Structure 1
Amino acid sequence: MSTQALTRQPLDGIAVGLMVVLCAAWGLQQVVIKVTAPLMGAVLQAGVRSAVAALLVFGFAAWRGTPLWRRDGTLNAGLLAGLLFGAEFFCIFVGLGHTTASRMAVFLYTAPIFTALGLHFVVPGERLHRGQWLGVALAFAGMALAFADGIAAPSAQGSTLPGDALGILAGALWAATTLVVRASPLASAPASKTLLYQLAVSAVMLLAMAVAAGQTATVQIDGVVLASLFYQSVLIAFASYLTWFWLLRRYLASRLSVFSFLTPLFGVAFGVVLMHDAVGPRFAVAALLVLAGIVLVNRRA
């Protein structure tokens, strides 16, 4: 059955439960990356993650009979989406070496704000209404306050500004990837083909960068590294993304997107509980402003 033939339905218990699990899993990802960093270089982690997930998606698509090699005009957009996707994860993995997992979670998940702004100018039917503009203003106020907090109270590892800036850039790159998909032939391509473009191109890009940086010579393979790679590659980049696409095919996207504020909330919570990240009053207010902005941007007129 085609995507167009499906009637999207309001959220039921299954959809709500899956969205909470997905948001928690995505929020934990920053902690997992940071824990593994001393044992495996950040860029190498990102490259291996994409490579393993690409192989899994390729196998899944082949099993489903998805036409991956058909000439459908998606090649150029797919390559661009893959480069943007790779750049996004480069910023995330490298940025976590310079900021806390909690701060990265908040800055990264400003992506819906940048996406809404981009869609406003690129897609005719996606104009922002007054409430959404208020959400954009609140989110940017939260980002500014969070930056000020990083200047006033740097973490034990020094200034968080480089990592915070990379987190913001990662969110913007994530939004740019979404715009490329929405405004190109990828919008009508099978979800697994779109995801495969991103994973395969980013794997080549990131692994080449890791080799050039000499990160392959300093890897310490142990249970922690293997568990981290399994979590990042199999559970997140493969299973969670396919689950997300499955949800989008069956439920109203506008209702699903409201849950996006849960991911940075989980990210901050996991950072505080598992990594003992310090969250001062100013950063807490900043995070709440960003979350409020995300909620408002995802509301319809």
Structure 2
Amino acid sequence: MQNNDDLTVKATALTIFICILFGANPVAIKFSLTGLGAFTAVGIRFTIAAVVIFIWARVKNIPLKLTQKQLGQMVILAAIFVVQFSCFYIGLGKTTASHGALIANVLPFIVLVMAHFFIPGDSISLKKGLGITLGFIGVMFLFFDEQDMTGDLKKGDLIILAAVFMWSSSVIFVKRIISKYNVVQITIFPMIFGIPFFFLGGFLWDDQMIRMINPTIIKAMLYQSIVTASFGFIAWNSLLQKFGATALHSFIFIMPLAGVLFGVLLLRETITTHLVTSIIFIVSGVIIVNLRRKKHPVSVH
């Protein structure tokens, strides 16, 4: 693995591009929800993604077989996965893509707090504490945003925040067990185990599983399934294996910025003072948390 200073121009460009793609995902979800129920949309997304990743794993000869213990762990991870994405899609159906993108990017802050208590040796430093504080202040500004007076937006924000808490729990759980898996196993099996429950949820709770299908909805579903859940995963983990998390995480502040930008441009969402303030706090927090002091070589006399 190369270090942070070895990130090439090509790798840097690819990392920025992937962050933009991930940031735009809430906008694609909003488009898909115009014609699909929330549970149905997430079920279709991960059905396509699981098929694409499975084919890629076969081509690359990546082993997928699980032990009995791993199977039990994947069932737990799948249960979290189902609740997490169900909440995320339901929440986005009630709030804006801009709010969804910003709240989703509170994930690293919640993970840091949880890791402090559940991952030995992973404590919160002063720098991390400052970043976490800024991030949560940014979220608080979203809840005082007055662009929707009905309260449905705030309800959607709360549901997405619940999804991010579940997502953070998943990250902590994965950190504890990841050494026993390859990255494809840890990604594809929660999808495979979760898909039947998404469609069951769609049958039971979506007002209509499929209200309409048009080219926009099809493109939005392919974007979520192939561009982010499949290509995004493969490209991100390939970079992660080569350059490490430190190099890549230096760019994740791009995700909330991209989410808000695409929400405004493609969905005509309103830019409010609260939204701008939230962006400033959350992006600043992400940058501070991921700021690394450059190590200077020790001179030998």
TM-score, normalization: structure 2? 0.90
1:160 maps to 2:156? no
How far apart are 1:110 and its partner, in Å? 0.5
Single out whichever of 44-53 and 206-215 deviates more from structure 2.
206-215
How far apart are 1:100 and its partner, in Å? 0.7
How far apart are 1:70 and its partner, in Å? 4.1
Identity level (%): 25
Paired residue type of 2:192: A
How far apart are 1:235 and its partner, in Å? 1.2
* Match in the other structure for 2:273: 281
How far apart are 1:250 and its partner, in Å? 0.2
Indicate which of 219, 229, 238 corresponds to 1:246. 238
Supply the RMSD in Å over aligned alpha carbons.
1.9
Q: Is the 8 A contact 2:38 2:206 kept in 1?
A: no
How far apart are 1:63 and its partner, in Å? 2.2
Q: 1:212-262, CA deviations, whole angstroms, 9 ceiling, x for partnerless residues? A: 225565432222222122111111111111111111100031121121111
Q: 1:94-149, CA deviations, whole angstroms, 9 ceiling, x for partnerless residues? A: 11121111011101111011111111222223222111101111111111122122
* Match in the other structure for 2:221: 229
Indicate which of 208, 213, 216 corresponds to 2:205. 213
* Match in the other structure for 2:256: 264
- Residues 116 and 293 of structure 1, relative CA distance in 2, 3 Å threshold: same
Within-5 A mapping of 1:3-14:
6-8=1-3, 10-14=6-10
* Match in the other structure for 2:114: 118
Paired residue type of 1:38: T
Which consecutive unaligned segments of at least 5 residues does structure 1 have? 1-5
Which consecutive unaligned segments of at least 5 residues does structure 2 have? 294-301
How far apart are 1:54 and its partner, in Å? 1.0
Counterpart secondary structure, 1:187: helix
1:174 maps to 2:167? yes
- Residues 111 and 214 of structure 1, relative CA distance in 2, 3 Å threshold: closer
Within-5 A mapping of 1:46-85:
46-71=42-67, 73-85=69-81
Q: Is the 8 A contact 1:8 1:249 kept in 2?
A: no
Q: 1:27-51, CA deviations, whole angstroms, 9 ceiling, x for partnerless residues? A: 1111111122121112101011011
Within-5 A mapping of 1:16-95:
16-71=12-67, 73-95=69-91
CA distance in structure 2 between the partners assigned to 1:94 and 1:217 by the alignment: 13
Within-5 A mapping of 1:126-141:
126-141=122-137
- Residues 156 and 16 of structure 1, relative CA distance in 2, 3 Å threshold: farther
How far apart are 1:300 and its partner, in Å? 4.4
TM-score, normalization: structure 1? 0.90
